[in-house]
Structure 1
């Protein structure tokens, strides 16, 4: 299933035409306040990321969605969803991730998309659990994950010289 909907959002498989919007969001320093890797340096980086997402879709049949408001279809406000990630000390995890344009912040879209992803993982993927990795000082994302029923289960030393990321988990059974 390449499309999923929530009350206010359209969650769809991205395509190559989403590259410029991906760069607009991921290239914006404001969206990377808590990401030590920083914003994408140029559109080529965003296209490489998009290529990885499309490869994940090809291999697994699901992945990161392009997110649109139902009230404004055709305009991407963010990207988010589920993906397999191999993390040192944790093995393979089904990871929930998202990033929205600053204009979409504060509207509850991360929580709504996250609940849509949880429902999708439980119903379509028959997953037992999903994880969220978040920088410990990113209070708003930590709060979103807690609202979605995630609980902290550990840390991940994923960026040298930076505090460990929090690993949160949500059981689906």
Structure 2
């Protein structure tokens, strides 16, 4: 497992700078409730989905719920409640395994190792960086990515019993030429 983590980190070190320069991408820098930076991700639009790649630090070991939230506001003094609920324009139930779901903002859990570091590499076909798509992240009030304290059970509405919000990132458009 340790070798896999090092290999993933080395791959990310090579890929992230290239993605960060692509105007078809977005970036998000995570903060904890104290406002300290705890990681970042790059979002890249593909033909049918976006890919989210990066890393997080300072998490408790184990699985953590990971979701798109409806407002691009990460105020740690509110426990990141300022980010609103999960993105859910179609009023579905929560969870990737819920027969009446998922929310557009639902994502697979991220897993932190014993050192509190999580390598993020997930895709979403329900969110878009394309302005022509109804699931566009850069609407009037923006969108945030939120990490929760516990694992998302992928079924229970509204947030999969994933607990408190422990890290948050406002998604920012990449404006690099």
TM-score relative to the length of structure 1? 0.33
TM-score relative to the length of structure 2? 0.33
Q: Looking at secondary structure, tell me which structure has more helix per residue.
A: 1
Instruction: Kindly indicate whether structure 1 or structure 2 has the higher relative contact order, using CA contacts under 8 Å at least 6 residues apart.
Output: 2
